[in-house]
Amino acid sequence: MTDLADPLRPHEQTVALPGGFDAGLWFIGRIRTPWTTRSACPRRGAPDQGPLCRIELDPRWLPALEGLAGRDRLQILYWMHLARRDAVLQNPDFGNRATGTFALRSPLRPNPIASSLVRLLSVEGSVLAVRGLDCVDGTPLLDLKPEFGAFA
């Protein structure tokens, strides 16, 4: 859940959030990583580095994995459920100025959607083993896509 009690850094600014949502989505699984807090997560994952992580897809989506095994890289879209959503100016370095949210890769965003390119190591049932993630354990999964289109 979002913790709007996170303190603001110098020069940061927030806005009032809209009263309702424009669309809906489903979490299609959960991401399992070794990091239990946001501060422990790397700032950005790399597909050829980092620890082994698991993507646990809800079993109802198992048929959607057909044709995925054998791919090298995947784009993973996930929901940064612990991030503030009201920040418009941020000061990630605690420096003397702020930068607009849309000029940063920070998790603080109106719609906290993240994207990581990962190396696919294996697919076993509805569990994918990957490298290159940078999110907290239990992060909700939105979607996954091959790095490139369908095999010819």
Name the 3-class secondary structure at 103. helix
For residue 50, the 8-state DSSP code is S
CATH number of the domain at 24-146, please?
Answer: 2.40.30.70
Report the share of the chain in percent with pLDDT over 90: 72
Q: What is the pLDDT of residues 62-118, one digit of tens each?
A: 999 999 999 999 999 999 999 999 999 999 888 999 999 999 988 899 999 999 999
- Sole residue written with tokens 């070794």: 34
Nearest 5 degrees, angle CA 29-CA 92-CA 1? 35
Quote the pLDDT of residue 122: 97
3-state SS, residue 104: coil
Q: Where are the domains of the chain?
A: 24-146
Residue 2: other Cβ atoms inside 10 A: 15
pLDDT at residue number 38: 83
Predicted TM-score (pTM) of this structure: 0.85
